[in-house]
Structure 1
Amino acid sequence: MRVALAEDGALFREGLLMLLRAAGHEVVGCTADGDALVDLLADQPVDVAILDIRMPPEPDGGLVTAERLRAAHPGMGLLFLSHYAESHYLVRILQIGTDGIGYRLKEKVGSVDVLTDTLTRIRDGEIVIEPVLAKRLVQRPQGDRKQVVDSLSARELEVLGLMAEGRSNNGIATELFVTQKAVEKHIANIFDKLGLPNDATAHHRRVLAVLTYLRSQRDDG
């Protein structure tokens, strides 16, 4: 697929370029800051833009750049990379959009298979969240959401954790070695216990379920 990269760390940038090319992706361009990436993609759209969260022109320049790119190219996928799994970053990322977007740790995308799987899912419109962050959000609930979390069964917490990673129902069923029908039942229970609106689309309700935990984590911190 066609990709572009903005990363101010020269060593990591070169390594990621090599990995992308080894995976057979077409790298349209590579920049060291967000402004240059926006200029590059003005007339050369890509399937997915890869951005370092902490880069020029601001401390969190990747987030600002992504807002500009999503406004100009709504169908473009966005993959954020960082050395740290921070819930406040994820809240801001999901405020930019809930389709075709991802947040992964740099150390976790160091293989062709993992990187290509992440890019493909984002290109196809999925949300891809770093598993360690997704698990942290559901395993260590805090604040006013504690009572809600206590009402979820252990299996429902597992399902919610995989939902937070952006897994499909079929992907969750495969991971947990259960039927897809069982997964659908667990998700319905989660939606009910979290009090999510029945008139929302299934995809929207999945995002709301994840945001419930993201916001509780942010409010507590």
Structure 2
Amino acid sequence: MRVALAEDGALFREGLVMLLEAAGHEVVGCAEDGNALVDLLAAGPGATADVAILDIRMPPEPDGGLSTAERLRTAYPNLGLLFLSHYAEAHYLMRVLQIRTESIGYRLKEKVGSVAVLSDTLDRIRAGEIVIEPQLARRLVDRPTGNRRDVVASLSARELEVLGLMAEGRSNGGIAGQLVVSPKAVEKHIANIFTKLGLPADAAEHHRRVLAVLTYLRSHQDGA
């Protein structure tokens, strides 16, 4: 796929370019800050991209990746977004999900240092999935706070496992493979989660998945 990149750390930026090219992706341009990336993508057809990779904490300060993504979302609604950071922070994730709840990802820099992991992340984003750093997703699901504790208590251990994998952006097939169960079993667990969370039965499957994940991510902030 065609990828644009903004990262203010020169060594990490060049390393990402090498990984992307090794995976067979076309890097349409690199920038060291958000403003330069916006200008690059506005330059013309030759600079169009399928996914933009952004460092969350880069110029323009303080969180240039997030402000840049908001500008790109307005200009290019179909552009996938991958945020990279040294930090797995809930408040960053909530801002990411305010920008979009599909075709978007938030990963730790140290976890995308291989062709396989980076390519899998990009493929899932391009396919319309939410890709959340597993470390952060599991921490938020496993440690709910505030007035949603009663909802958490109503879920079984297996349902929590399924929800944790949903929060990572995994498909039903991906969840089944991870837990070594049948797709039908996963569908049953997800249906139970939707029911216990009180999510509307007439809503689209994708919409209910997003609502389920957001319920738990927001529960992390209730006691903050």
Displaced runs of 4 or more, over 6 A = none
- State whether structure 2 residue 113 is matched by structure 1 residue 110: yes
Letter in 1 for 2:180: F
Match of 2:23 in 1: 23
Match for residue 223 of structure 2?
Answer: 220
Among 27, 47, 68, the alignment partner of 1:65 is 68
Q: How far does residue 52 in structure 1 lie from its aligned partner after superposition?
A: 0.2
Alignment partner of 1:74: what SS?
coil
* 8 A contact 2:141–2:217 mirrored in 1: no
Determine the structure 1 residue equivalent to 2:38. Answer: 38
Alignment-derived partner of residue 206 in structure 2: 203
Equivalence map 1:123-202=2 (5 Å): 123-202=126-205
Indicate if the aligned counterparts of 2:8 and 2:32 stay in contact, CA closer than 8 A: yes
Post-superposition CA distance 1:14-45 (Å, at most 9, x none): 11111111111110100010011011111222
Deviation at 1:209, TM superposition (A): 0.6
Q: Give the deviation of 1:220 after TM superposition.
A: 2.1
Q: For the residues of structure 2 that align with 1:47 and 1:67, how far apart are their CA atoms?
A: 16
Contact 1:45 1:76 in 2 (8 A): no
Aligned amino acid, residue 60 of structure 1: D
**Equivalents in 1 of 2:19, 2:180: separation in Å?**
32
TM-score, normalised by the number of residues in structure 1: 0.98
Deviations 1:113-154 (A, max 9, x none): 000000011111111110001110111111111111011000
Q: Decide which of 71, 80, 83 is 2:83's aligned counterpart.
A: 80
Residue 199 of structure 1: how far off its partner (Å): 2.2
User: Could you say what secondary structure the match of 2:144 adopts?
Assistant: coil
Q: Partner amino acid for 1:101?
A: I
Q: Is the 8 A contact 2:4 2:51 kept in 1?
A: yes
Task: Output the CA distance in 1 between the equivalents of 2:204 and 2:89.
Answer: 28
Q: Give SS of 1:219's match.
A: coil
Q: Which amino acid aligns with 1:140?
A: R
**1:63-118 superposed Cα distances (whole Å, 9 cap, x missing partner):** 01001111111111000000011111111111111111000000000000000000
- Shift of the alpha carbon at 1:218? 2.1
Query: Which segment drifts farther, 16-25 or 112-121?
Result: 16-25
CA contact (8 A) 1:152 1:190 kept: yes
Q: Superposition RMSD on alpha carbons, in Å? A: 0.8
Query: How many percent of aligned residue pairs carry the same amino acid?
Result: 79
Q: Which amino acid aligns with 2:153?
A: D
SS at match of 1:218: coil
1:94 aligns with 2:133: no
> When the two structures are superposed, what TM-score results if normalisation uses the length of structure 2?
0.97
Structure 1 position 3 matched with structure 2 position 6 = no
Q: Distance in 1 between matches of 2:108 and 2:58?
A: 15
1-structure distance, mates of 2:90, 2:184: 31
Number of positions where the alignment pairs a residue of Structure 1 with one of Structure 2 = 221
Contact persistence 2:83–2:105 (CA under 8 A): yes
Any idea what SS the aligned residue of 2:107 has? Answer: strand
Q: Distance in 1 between matches of 2:41 and 2:127?
A: 19
Aligned partners of 1:102, 1:220: CA distance in 2, in Å? 25
